[in-house]
């Protein structure tokens, strides 16, 4: 049997030693959490692909400048690197 996931709530208005509550998630909270994790993962994968493409494009641009005869120092000065 899978344990019910819990959330930790720390009420700082209470004295030390009495602040922490371990509360099981409701079925609705679990479903919402799982749905959000799927969405977050999809967004992250998409963002990583975008950033990887940007990095690849930047490198391709740099390589093109090298092919045109610019030195690394000239390229760095041009790109502000």
Partner 1 sequence: MGYQLIEEITVGAGGAASIEFTGIPQDGVDLVLKLAMRTNRAANTDSVKIQINNNTGSIYTHLRLQGNGSSVLTGSYTGTESYVIVNGNNDTANTFGNADFLISNYTSSNDKSATSDAVNENNATLAYQDLKAHLFADTNPVSSVQLAPSGGTLFLQYSTASLYMITAD
In this complex, which beta carbon is closest to partner 1, that of residue 31 or of residue 69?
31
Q: How far apart are CA 8 and CA 21, in angstroms?
A: 6
Phi, psi of 20 (to 5 degrees): -90, 130
Residue 70's closest CA among 49, 33, 17, 61? Answer: 61
Residue 55, interface with partner 1 (CB under 8 A)? Answer: yes
State which of positions 21-40 bind partner 1 (CB under 8 A).
22, 25, 29-30, 33-34, 37, 40
Coil, strand or helix: which one is 2? coil
Residue 20 in contact with partner 1, rule: CB under 8 A: yes
Q: Give the shortest CB-73-to-partner 1 separation in angstroms.
A: 19
51 counts as binding partner 1 under rule CB under 8 A: yes
């Amino acid at each position: 049997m899978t344990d019910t996931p819990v959330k930790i709530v720390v009420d700082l208005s209470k004295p030390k030693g009495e602040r922490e509550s371990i509360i099981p998630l409701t079925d609705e909270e679990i479903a919402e959490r799982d749905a959000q994790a799927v969405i977050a993962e999809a967004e992250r994968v998409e963002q990583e692909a975008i950033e990887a493409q940007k990095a690849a494009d930047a490198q391709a641009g740099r390589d093109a400048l090298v092919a045109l005869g610019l030195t690394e120092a000239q390229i760095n000065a041009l790109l502000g690197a």
